[in-house]
Amino acid sequence: MPEFVLYNAPQSTCSQRVRYVLHAKGRVFEEHRLDLFKGDQLTPEYLAINPNGVVPTLLHDGAPVTDSAVIMEYLEEILGSVTPLRPGDPLKVAEMRAMLRFIDEVPTPAIRVPSYNLAFLPHFQAMGDEEFQALCDSKPLRREFLMKMGRTGFPKAEMDEALARLQRGIDRMATWLAASGGPWLMGAELSLADIAIMPVIVRMDDIRLAGMWREAPAIGRWLERIRQTPAFSATYYHGSLLTEKYPHLAAAARRSEPMDA
């Protein structure tokens, strides 16, 4: 078995974080791309290594490491001398971890709501009630989230709340960039905080929510800068963006029509 084996999904924002760290550190890894709508993450074989039934999962010499934030820190622990992504000053490490906590509490869960409504909903609408309920019941960490969405999508109140949380994320990111002087969240060097928020910003841009940082042009510059890093193109191979996976999103983007919330 290779030293590193990654079970993930192309469009999964949490998977994208881990792929980026592995590529940034130049690690060769065996990639298993799971089809989440086919239930690849719910097979007995996968549940044996990740009982939560979510992606990603990293196997390091056969031992599983789960949760994207944990995996990123784990890779930094064992590969910290290769393209360091964590400050050397313990106080700065604490600052970075506080950023990670905010990112995982506010913008990361919020981006799921417009993502599901705009991209994934047709898949659930095609299900019968019993099939949908069985799907919800099979997901230990996402059951309540899917139940709130239902087969008709999240209501306007839920979308408004998610967009408000995304705006708080954007505002906080702009504050971090201003305080550090950029170009990255903690200053001159790329850190795990940048990688943690990267999939949220990329997803927002992909589903045409980039207008939310119109008043914070530093975020646009940050996005262009991270897109220029070598690890980015390796991470976002074709099919990693929702507009590459779902034709109705790509068509709407070409027409520049507002998506229904």
pLDDT in tens, 12-30: 999 999 999 999 999 999 9
At 133 the pLDDT is: 76
CA neighbours closer than 13 Å in the CB half-sphere of residue 83: 16
- Kindly give, in sequence order, each residue whose CB lies less than 8 Å from that of residue 41, ignoring residues fewer than 6 positions away: 7, 9, 34, 50, 53, 54, 55
pTM: 0.90
Architecture of domain 4-79: 3-Layer(aba) Sandwich (3.40)
**189 — phi, psi (to 5°)?**
-115, 140
Residue-wise DSSP of 124-145: HHTS-HHHHHHHHHT-TTTHHH
Cβ–Cβ under 8 Å, residues 58 and 8: no
Confidence (pLDDT) at 258: 45
Q: Which of 67, 48, 42 is nearest to 137 (CA)?
A: 42
Domain boundaries, the chain: 4-79, 90-255
Q: Name the stretches of the chain with pLDDT < 50.
A: 257-261
In this prediction, residue 261 carries a pLDDT of: 36
User: 90-255, what's its fold?
Assistant: Glutathione S-transferase Yfyf (Class Pi); Chain A, domain 2 (1.20.1050)
Residue 49 tokens read as 């290594």
